[in-house]
Structure 1
Amino acid sequence: MGRIYAEYELESPVALERAAEVIAGEQSSGTFLKLPGETDDLRARSGAVAERVELLDTRSAPSLPCRIESDAFQRGRIRLSWPIETMGPSLPNVLATVAGNLFELAEVSALRLLDVSFPPEFASACPGPAFGVAGTRRLCGVESGPLIGTIIKPSVGLTPDQTADVVEDLAQGGIDFIKDDELQANGPACPLPERVDRVMRVVNDHAGRTGKKVMVAFNITGDLDEMRRGHDIVRAAGGTCVMVSMHCIGLAGMTALRRHGDLPIHAHRAGWGLFSRSPDIGISYVAWQKFWRLAGADHLHVNGLGNKFSEPDDSVTASAKAVLSPLFDAGPAFEAMPVFSSGQTALQVPGTVAAAGSDDFLICAGGGIIGHPGGIGAGVASMRQAAEAAALGRGLPDHARENEALAQAIDAFGKRMA
């Protein structure tokens, strides 16, 4: 059987080699002293191995509070590996191994998980995305170009009927995809069954008249029974997507939903800042997204270029490319669709195409569509026209000369992006 490999950036008040040994022991067969059952054979068979230790820098003070005092704190990269026999192809148990107690060890003054490599056993053991890029395109009826989406706003407070009215306006405007906000799930002000009923009446009627069925990602985040019921309500009404906040339901919840359902799963990363905000502790998105793709997420949020949050564009770009990269050298690619959002308008579309390296993505614009001065239809058109400009290799101002909706978007949103 294969091995799990994990890359870290580590800072320690002791030598990096020693810190790597401590982490390897803590996260496999060892403890703070050698026990009678901890034989040389057991450690050779089941212990984690420090594959590589690379010193990059030495600092005079710890990046995080540290119990061990030192005049020098070494910082660098380490690579550890574990035999799969000790955990099996289990995503929750791999996460507990590569991102468990190691963050709080006394010998650690900073630690980030940078990447994880899974052996081929996970390709057959994990469900992976059921739809991914190709299946999502098929359901949305969009063969090429980015999928254009938006979010129902206000986030909360709208009744089911008011929500359906917004969806009707968006469908008539030519939108491909609509999602619930992560804050809107199954509250008494807008219960999921009633919301699904009203919204899908609009969606199905529009599809019957035009042949285009808008994909609506209904937020079914909850306990396992709630999510199964929510999925079935959406499917029975003719819906084509469900949404969950993956940090809130966990890997086991995602896997259970994937095995139960037969609709695309739109995975929102609410709470991601807990893992990403600090350069001194947490998990990189490159590593984190692999777990969720294996668990069954079809769409994964990656933030957006020029977003309203703290994440820089190079990080967003790396995340999008990671989601589209194969997980294994052979066998299923487990490819998911990256979702760009957060303060998006037509002005970000060409850069987003370049960042993703393709047009296999979903870009969700709230104000960029609904707040467009020409109305919702013009907002959607401006996004498509920006994608056309990218495909043709034309600058937005040049392309806007023949496309009024794009010209209006540049006038309306250009100052905000400057």
Structure 2
Amino acid sequence: MERFEAEYMLETAWPPEKAAAVIAGEQSSGTFRPVPGETEALKARSAARVEVLEELGPCAGPSLPGAAGGAYRRARLVLSWPVANTGISLPNVMATVAGNLFELNCVAGLRLVDLRFPEGFVAGCPRPAFGVTGTRALSGVEGRPLIGTIIKPSIGLTAEETAAMVDTLCAAGIDFIKDDELQADGAVCPFDDRVRAVMAVIRAHAERTGKAVMYAFNLTGEVDEMRARHDLVLREGGSCVMVSANSVGLTGMLALRRHARLPIHLHRNGWGYLSRHPALGFDYAAWSKLWRLAGADHMHVNGLANKFCEGDDSVMVSARSLLSPLSGGHAGVTMPVFSSGQTALQAHGTWAALGTADLIFAAGGGIMAHPDGPAAGVRSLQDAWAAAMAGVSLAQAAKESPALAAAVRGFG
């Protein structure tokens, strides 16, 4: 019988084996008291199983309120469930691995660290339709990162003002542009108007230069709205759409992926409320697997020296997890998107830490707020990444690139 696994970091004042058994029961065939229908045959067929329970030593106290008192300890816990419990259904897997277990009073801390699925489950999910290879083919960018930006101000520009900014960025040689997650279909900049205005600019540049810039239009909305918005982007010659994961949920994402003929750029806004407490919620590797299985082609991972609270090591662990195959027989690789306070100053560190150019490097203020303007911002990133990949120091490269030198002065 095929099974899928979830790995947790558990804090509890209960004997860890008792807490593990309660969690396993709550998330499968058991409840707080034995019931007549819970036969041994049923449990053999449907119960969660404790695969690993490794005690890691004591901890100072409960990380979460409402936990039963006592001497608290930490443990690594791996549970497994039969695939037959959920079928190949990501929403129901989510309910199983991240449901009521967080609320049990035997839990003083619980974080979902990883998820592992059998080959058959992975094969039955949509998975990325484009990923790294398809994104490179559509963008025409090989052998280096896609240099990108986010339209800023995030919201408030009209469709015509957005298109004018895109005109400047296309002329500067940018590879990728995205809407901010706050910009979807507001009255100031309606989605349909924005798509038509922006794509007219992108088509005009493509006719002159042969390069069609990839623009991720934020189509977040209800399922029918997202399908209609995707179809408009496709008709206008666009090559990417964007959706906010936590706004549309797994069901919305699955519906979009099954309909879409374009790469899906998945934004993780709201990630902090799922992850910021170290003893509660998700590690990115676990959470992102659900969205990769649902078909995300690009996913945000933050960036080095970012404007948020995440440390550099965590960012790199997240990026590497996206570039790891979902299973042995299926690539399922999703392109990491570095963003959040990025400038030309982070190119060398990102290259050194990740060791691959299979990424989108999206700098909003790092391009739009460059001292010499957006075109120089694009050039500064191009020159920084070329230097990093060639083994040329930032200081040396800045001597040869006025745009990079201005970025070092302005952002340093």
TM tier, smaller: over 0.9
- 1:354, distance to aligned residue in structure 2 (A): 2.5
* Structure-2 change in CA distance of 1:42 and 1:384 (3 Å): same
- 1:66, distance to aligned residue in structure 2 (A): 2.3
- 1:57, distance to aligned residue in structure 2 (A): 2.3
Deviations 1:99-127 (A, max 9, x none): 11100001101000000001111222111
Q: 1:302 maps to which residue?
A: 301
Partners of 1:178 and 1:264 in 2: how far apart?
Answer: 14
- Give me the identity figure in percent: 59
Q: 1:69 maps to which residue?
A: 69
* Structure-2 change in CA distance of 1:67 and 1:371 (3 Å): closer
Q: 1:409 maps to which residue?
A: 407
- 1:69, distance to aligned residue in structure 2 (A): 2.4
Q: 1:34 maps to which residue?
A: 34
- 1:60, distance to aligned residue in structure 2 (A): 4.6
- 1:56, distance to aligned residue in structure 2 (A): 1.2
- 1:5, distance to aligned residue in structure 2 (A): 0.9
Aligned partners of 1:400 and 1:406 also within 8 Å: yes
Q: 2:343 maps to which residue?
A: 345
Q: 1:172 maps to which residue?
A: 171
Aligned partners of 2:67 and 2:107 also within 8 Å: no
Aligned partners of 1:339 and 1:363 also within 8 Å: yes
Partners of 1:123 and 1:112 in 2: how far apart?
Answer: 23
Q: 1:374 maps to which residue?
A: 372
Q: 1:84 maps to which residue?
A: 83
Partners of 1:60 and 1:388 in 2: how far apart?
Answer: 48
Q: 2:6 maps to which residue?
A: 6
In structure 1, the gaps of 5 or more residues are: none
Aligned partners of 2:183 and 2:218 also within 8 Å: yes
Deviations 1:201-220 (A, max 9, x none): 10100111111101111000
Partners of 1:54 and 1:124 in 2: how far apart?
Answer: 31
Structure 1 SS opposite 2:174:
coil
1:41-190 map, 5 Å: 41-70=41-70, 72-190=71-189
Partners of 1:17 and 1:357 in 2: how far apart?
Answer: 41
In structure 2, the gaps of 5 or more residues are: none
Aligned partners of 1:207 and 1:213 also within 8 Å: yes
Letter in 2 for 1:384: Q
Q: 1:194 maps to which residue?
A: 193
Letter in 1 for 2:21: E
**Residue 374 of structure 2 corresponds to residue 396 of structure 1:** no
Structure 2 SS opposite 1:77:
strand
Aligned partners of 2:152 and 2:365 also within 8 Å: no
Partners of 2:82 and 2:121 in 1: how far apart?
Answer: 13
Deviations 1:292-328 (A, max 9, x none): 1110110000001100000001100000000000110
- 1:67, distance to aligned residue in structure 2 (A): 4.3
State the aligned residue count: 412
Structure 2 SS opposite 1:401:
helix
Aligned partners of 1:321 and 1:357 also within 8 Å: no
- 1:385, distance to aligned residue in structure 2 (A): 1.1
Aligned partners of 1:116 and 1:287 also within 8 Å: yes
Deviations 1:330-387 (A, max 9, x none): 2x21111000001100110111123332000001111111211222222111111111
Q: 2:285 maps to which residue?
A: 286
- 1:388, distance to aligned residue in structure 2 (A): 1.2
Q: 1:267 maps to which residue?
A: 266
